[in-house]
Amino acid sequence: MMGEKGVLKCFLNASSGADIAVVEGVMGLFDGISGKDDFSSTAHVAKVLNAPVILVIDAGKAARSIAAIATGFLHFDKKLRIIGTIINNVAGDKHANFIIEAFADKVKVPIIGIVERNKTITMMERHLGLIPTPELEEKQKRAIFQSAKFVSEQLDLDKIKNLLDMVQRTGPLLPKHLPDGQIKIAVAIDESFNFYYVDNLEALREQKAELIFFSPINDCKLPENIHGVILGGGFPEVMANKLEKNQSMKKSISKVAEKGTPIYGECGGLMYLTRSIRGYKGDEQKKRNMVGLIDADTFIGGKLTLNYTEASSNASIFGKISKVRGHEFHYSRIENIAKDSKFAYVMRRGYGIDNKKDGFMVYNCLASYMHLHFADSRLPKRFIANCIKFTRK
């Protein structure tokens, strides 16, 4: 999505001033866009960053075999620097000793943590993963701190630090540039909309935009004197009853849309802009009325759509771009789509909204399932240019 330069810029900006940066891997170490190579995997990112890897292995159903798994990872790609392992989900001291004995003869990197099995630190999940922070109650927040304490006490933090001190540091830091705002962008942030790449928000600020955060659930209307609106990803289906009841906010969004204000919605934002949402937790009949800007409805089903995406942008906020890369991740689908609907994207990879088409275009609004990363500098520049054009009308 970002390209290697985008990964480097993101990392350097985010880790400015830090002694140690922790990069969380996703899926298996070598799992990327295909089975042919490691492109877009955690291993690929580690090599781009020249970063060492600490391998976490689930030992829940094995003992000596864990040493064989670690050995396989160590030899699978010699360009990768695996400097230590954390053994997770260990039953107790006997189980741990079996693994330690197996590692002593076969594995050339140290064990830097053994985390025992503990059902009390299990995190709550739902259809798209962990519960977002804004929804957590105080009891759940305390549980996270207790879990962190439990895990940290079973890691050898001094050994981790010593291993990292021996690693060559990545190159010079890029300067942060956050100029004063001239263009005001309203960005939805609350329990229902909270999936954003921080880099995207920073990229908008670099284009001299001022970001004004608002809540479609709790605020009665959009902020005043804005030049654009962003409705990010999230869980509008979970909070659909509250979103439905906030009639004044829905009217406020429709009003600015009709004036031609640029509005950009991704996934959850797309769903909120349709006529209705139904189907969450099996309630297929009850419809919750949404903004209704898009002449279609949202249904929450049981089938997961998960892809890296690539599309051609033909019009709307971003104009014509031959390659727009992102990802899609949702259980919903858009139904009852008006026959005269217009779409901005033709999908080369991924499914989109309907039959390889994505990005509803209504007024000066673009709403898609595809999540984008603004490491592609054309995207924030063109969005802001569209906002500037709107202000001059």
168: pLDDT confidence band, cut at 50, 70 and 90?
Answer: low
With pLDDT > 70 as the criterion, what percentage of the chain qualifies?
Answer: 95
Q: Residue 24 has which token pair?
A: 């969380």
- In contact, 229 and 222? CB cutoff 8 Å: yes
In angstroms, rounded to a whole number, what is the distance separating the alpha carbons of residues 269 and 102? 51
Q: Which residue has the higher pLDDT, 174 or 152?
A: 152
Q: Which helix (H) or strand (E) holds 383?
A: helix 378-391
- Per-residue pLDDT reduced to its tens digit, 271-303: 999 999 998 887 767 899 999 999 999 999 888
360: pLDDT confidence band, cut at 50, 70 and 90?
Answer: very high
Kindly report whether the global pTM for this prediction surpasses the value 0.85: no
In angstroms, rounded to a whole number, what is the distance separating the alpha carbons of residues 29 and 69? 12
Nearest Cα residue to 308 out of 334, 332, 329, 323: 329
Which letter does DSSP use for residue 208 in this model? T
- Does 267 participate in catalysis according to the annotation? yes
Nearest Cα residue to 261 out of 302, 301, 231: 231
169: pLDDT confidence band, cut at 50, 70 and 90?
Answer: low
Cβ neighbours of 153 (radius 10 Å): 10
116: pLDDT confidence band, cut at 50, 70 and 90?
Answer: very high
What are the beta bridge partners of residue 278? 299
Q: How far is CA 68 from the centre of its chain?
A: 33
- In contact, 55 and 85? CB cutoff 8 Å: yes
In angstroms, rounded to a whole number, what is the distance separating the alpha carbons of residues 111 and 159? 10
Cβ neighbours of 225 (radius 10 Å): 9
**Active-site residue, selected from the candidate residues 10, 220, 267, 387:** 267
- Per-residue pLDDT reduced to its tens digit, 24-60: 998 899 998 888 999 999 999 999 988 999 999 999 9
In angstroms, rounded to a whole number, what is the distance separating the alpha carbons of residues 203 and 317? 16
In angstroms, rounded to a whole number, what is the distance separating the alpha carbons of residues 274 and 295? 6
